[in-house]
Structure 1
Amino acid sequence: MSVDVGSPAGAADTHEVLTAFLGRLAQLLLRNSGEGAEQVESAVRTAARAFGATADLVVLPEAASVAVSSHGRNSTVNVRAFPEVFRLDQLAALKPLLEDVENGRTTLREADRRLAAVERAPAPYPWWLKFAGIVLFCVGFAPLMQPTWYEVWTTAVLASIGGGLAVASERLPRLAAVLPLIASITVSLVTLEAFARTPAHGGPVLLMLPALFFYVPGDYLSAATAELAAGFLSTGAVRLVYAVFLLLQLYVGVVIGLLITGRSRHALFDVAAHGDLPRWALFLAWIVFTVGTVLAFAMPWRLLTRLLLLVYLTVGVQTAATKLIGEVGGTFVGAVVLGLAATLLARRPGQPPRLLLLLPGFFTLTVGSLGMRGLTALAGGYVIAGFQDLGKLVTIVVAIAAGLLLGAVLAQRPHGHH
């Protein structure tokens, strides 16, 4: 972080503290920028105004430049942070701080101290609970791919492999750099060798996908689309390219697993098995999924009930609307309702940030898995099915992003203040 500071005289010390505070705030927001660049820019500018300053930002997905003007002085701070959504406890702790700053309930020095405490806070759950969360997250998603007991228990085994790699990557930076690829190769090998020996259990891709769902960049795809729609062209384009790169890592991993096992590329058929899960199991799966989401993404446990209600609301609306107007229309309506409900809730004091309220419901709309299915279908030689899935991916990504955006707009106060 580089700060351009002039001579330390008069109010210079306050200006320096404010500049450093805004830079660190931008960095923390950037690291948790699952909703895109607009939220980073808005929060930093609001905080600057609250302390009698102005801030102009240039935001990219992994970097931001913050120009601060206060006390007759100008400084610029440049920060870098890799965007992710794995420490949402920090975002939850940041919201009351930002509310106090905006409403003049805290001094600059106190706000700076509280921000430092948020930055230093350890993860709320130990590694083994995060591992359990990833497994539950994937298992809860499994019935959406194939409503069979076989899909559920194979996902539990495969997700344990993916979850173990995810937890290990936190201590092994080299593994983290190629984590989606390594996870995809490993899951592909085990699936093809142990679980996908007969078509009666469904296609290998359908068995692999739930275990890889934790790595599918649906959040990046949707955030990129929202950024492009909001006019953040550079940020949206870069994030979109990165999301496609992650999808390609997963795709290449599946193909490498196919090559290692010596199976024909036509082994990547995409046929679903006959469902044998009772309705109560499908209903309870969303509870398993939501608990897994809370643990895997470090959300405060106290939010579980609210998040579960939003998940069931999203699923219910999407299911009902799909029966009336088709899959794309149902997804759009589900996203509108989710965006509206999350925005209205997040506006209230004491409620978590909008991203935390959106994320579990957003995952139920299942964006990225269509991209994986499309790419693997192409690799298997099923060209028409592959392009159909990829075309559906583009349509549904746009539908989700547009729906969430419309929901947020509908929740705006009449004078347009969020």
Structure 2
Amino acid sequence: MAPPVTGRAAERLRRAWHTLMDGSLPEPPEDEPGEIVEARTIDLVLRVGELLLASGESTERVNEAMLGLAVAYELPRCEVQVTLTSLLVSAHPGGGALPVTAARAIRRRTPAYWRLTALHQLVQDASIGMLEIEEAHARLAEIKRGRAPYPPWLLVVSFGLISASAAVLVGGGPLVAVTAFVATMLGDRAAAALARRGMAEFFQLGVASSIGASAAILVVAWGQPQDAPSIVTGAILAQLPGRPLVASIQDGITGDLVSCGARLLEVFFIITAIVAGLGIVVSTGSRFGIDVGVEHLPSAPALFQPVQICAAAAISLAFAVSLAAPRNVLVASAFGGALIWMIYVALLNRDFVPVMAAAVAAVLIGLLASMLARRRNAPVLPYIVPAIGPLLPGTALYRGLVELNSGDPQAGVLSLIGALSVALALGAGVNLGGELVRAFQRVGFGASGRWARPAARRTRGY
């Protein structure tokens, strides 16, 4: 049983309650003397927010964590502003004193979901008075210096495993899986080499996708055109932006339209780079008489098959490893991938259109993942992002690209719109599942309860 909260910790909880319910602390009388603004507190709030945002957390959760720390360490009348690339903290001491403001830019973002878990635990411990400011700084430094729970080579190999599993999911055999694995690994290493030379990420992704498409062209030239779509689908799936897609829709739903627009633009450029790299290779192959048609493209499955269910679980498991998720998330990720695939197939067999089937499956997965994350007192992104991996629209993107380059641009545009619709349905679905959990849970220290979002109060669109 947890010890009772008394003294200074109780005062912190009272101030946190006022912050969550009213959006700000009560204003003191004008003649109240100015409070002391501790520079180390502002620095802690900024550094925690920076590491959360750089590790892949959504804007709303970063804002909640920073505000929770500000309340815990008694920053007077603190305001927090979070965007995709910058953070700002401002504290007003009152009594005629000038406000103290600090900002930090986010120049590099690398998904590290194990850090999200550690940082959220730090914020929670601070919110209930278990960490003094020096202890919090020491713990933050330890988290920042920490290493991923997997060796570097496994993080690299995980991208190839995503591709190989996706190739099996859409009907490929062992040889196709090995080919997709090798092509994806070559593309990833080529992109890493370009990154070391300072090449923009757009061109890195274009080169990586073109290498995957080149493997398919070689397979067609070898006389096995039926294997080409599975190879390319696997290579595409390993690069599709599931993480920024989920975060962008969450930002838009919660009212942070600036970060939502920036993340959606990031998703757009990633998909454009993938399509451009594939298009160049397919067009070049057509000029040399190596045509990649749509007649061999895999169709949506209509039956449950153990191989496909295992492949879906393997995709989510590999996604979790590539995002450096904590080890205790891996089993849940694999189960989530298998479950979302089975729900999707069951709905397709009941004549649901793919977009609706993906949306319903995503809502159920988002609901279960949010409940599990709350039970474990952990952030939800490590659970939901890997789970949607099997339904990312790699085949639809490939179909649209082939149709665009084979003289049927109208059908190609429709296929690309369908792929985008499925992707948005996945992002909106998993966020809706989380909103349902939020709507019926109590307010917690992490500012995640049903009354903890002032922006959700009715405005009727104004």
1:250 offset after TM fit, Å? 1.5
Which residue of structure 2 lines up, in the alignment, with residue 165 of structure 1? 190
Tell me whether 1:52 sits opposite 2:74 in the alignment. yes
Which residue of structure 1 lines up, in the alignment, with residue 28 of structure 2? none
Q: C-alpha deviations, 1:316-375, integer Å up to 9, x for none?
A: 2222233333322221111111111121121234x5420101111122221466445434
1:146 offset after TM fit, Å? 3.4
Alpha-carbon distance between aligned partners in 1 of 2:422 and 2:289, rounded to the nearest angstrom: 27
Q: C-alpha deviations, 1:191-228, integer Å up to 9, x for none?
A: 31x21227853374542231232222233234323322
2:339 alignment partner, one of 304, 313, 332:
313
Alpha-carbon distance between aligned partners in 2 of 1:268 and 1:415, rounded to the nearest angstrom: 55
Which residue of structure 2 lines up, in the alignment, with residue 101 of structure 1? 126
1:175 offset after TM fit, Å? 6.8
What's the C-alpha RMSD, in Å, of the aligned pairs?
3.1
Moved more, 131-140 or 254-263: 254-263
Alpha-carbon distance between aligned partners in 2 of 1:405 and 1:150, rounded to the nearest angstrom: 37
Alpha-carbon distance between aligned partners in 2 of 1:319 and 1:261, rounded to the nearest angstrom: 34
Which residue of structure 2 lines up, in the alignment, with residue 146 of structure 1? 171
Amino acid at match of 2:132: T
Amino acid at match of 2:372: L
CA 399–96 in structure 1, closer or farther in 2 if over 3 Å, else same: same
Alpha-carbon distance between aligned partners in 2 of 1:85 and 1:132, rounded to the nearest angstrom: 17
Amino acid at match of 2:178: W
Say which one has the larger Rg. 2
Amino acid at match of 1:235: S
**What secondary structure does 1:174 align onto?**
coil
Tell me whether 1:323 sits opposite 2:349 in the alignment. yes
Tell me whether 1:332 sits opposite 2:370 in the alignment. no
CA 152–85 in structure 1, closer or farther in 2 if over 3 Å, else same: same
**What secondary structure does 1:298 align onto?**
coil
2:325 alignment partner, one of 295, 299, 310:
299
1:111 alignment partner, one of 125, 131, 136:
136
Tell me whether 1:353 sits opposite 2:393 in the alignment. no
Alpha-carbon distance between aligned partners in 2 of 1:281 and 1:18, rounded to the nearest angstrom: 53
CA 136–281 in structure 1, closer or farther in 2 if over 3 Å, else same: same
Normalised by the length of structure 2, the TM-score is: 0.78
Q: Percent identity of the aligned residues?
A: 23
Which residue of structure 1 lines up, in the alignment, with residue 41 of structure 2? 18
1:47 offset after TM fit, Å? 1.8
Amino acid at match of 2:79: D
Are 2:362 and 2:430, in contact at CA under 8 Å, matched by a contact in 1? yes
* Higher helix content, 1 or 2: 1
1:171 offset after TM fit, Å? 4.8
**What secondary structure does 2:153 align onto?**
helix
1:229 alignment partner, one of 245, 253, 256:
253
Alpha-carbon distance between aligned partners in 2 of 1:238 and 1:124, rounded to the nearest angstrom: 30
Alpha-carbon distance between aligned partners in 2 of 1:265 and 1:79, rounded to the nearest angstrom: 54
CA 154–104 in structure 1, closer or farther in 2 if over 3 Å, else same: same
Are 2:210 and 2:278, in contact at CA under 8 Å, matched by a contact in 1? yes
1:246 alignment partner, one of 245, 251, 270:
270
CA 154–70 in structure 1, closer or farther in 2 if over 3 Å, else same: farther
Alignment of 1:10-409 (within 5 A): 15-34=38-57, 36-53=58-75, 54-69=77-92, 74-82=99-107, 84=109, 86-165=111-190, 168=193, 171-174=196-199, 176=201, 178-192=203-217, 194-197=218-221, 201-202=225-226, 204=228, 206-258=230-282, 260-261=284-285, 263=287, 267-272=291-296, 279-324=305-350, 325-349=352-376, 351-367=377-393, 370-371=396-397, 373-409=399-435
Q: C-alpha deviations, 1:281-320, integer Å up to 9, x for none?
A: 2232234323322332212223222222222222222222
Are 1:137 and 1:296, in contact at CA under 8 Å, matched by a contact in 2? no
**What secondary structure does 2:221 align onto?**
coil
Amino acid at match of 1:224: S
Q: C-alpha deviations, 1:89-145, integer Å up to 9, x for none?
A: 211221221221122211121111111211122333333212221111221122333
Q: Give the gaps of 5 or more residues in structure 1.
A: 1-9
1:147 offset after TM fit, Å? 4.1
CA 184–311 in structure 1, closer or farther in 2 if over 3 Å, else same: closer
Amino acid at match of 2:400: G
Alpha-carbon distance between aligned partners in 2 of 1:369 and 1:244, rounded to the nearest angstrom: 17
CA 225–316 in structure 1, closer or farther in 2 if over 3 Å, else same: same
Alpha-carbon distance between aligned partners in 2 of 1:212 and 1:274, rounded to the nearest angstrom: 14
**What secondary structure does 1:381 align onto?**
coil
Are 1:130 and 1:167, in contact at CA under 8 Å, matched by a contact in 2? no
Moved more, 272-281 or 50-59: 272-281
Alpha-carbon distance between aligned partners in 1 of 2:298 and 2:334, rounded to the nearest angstrom: 28
Alpha-carbon distance between aligned partners in 2 of 1:239 and 1:73, rounded to the nearest angstrom: 35
Alpha-carbon distance between aligned partners in 1 of 2:200 and 2:153, rounded to the nearest angstrom: 18
Q: Give the gaps of 5 or more residues in structure 2.
A: 1-33, 450-462
1:249 offset after TM fit, Å? 1.3
Amino acid at match of 1:28: L
Q: C-alpha deviations, 1:9-32, integer Å up to 9, x for none?
A: x975x6100111111111112112
Normalised by the length of structure 1, the TM-score is: 0.85
1:161 offset after TM fit, Å? 1.1
1:407 offset after TM fit, Å? 0.8
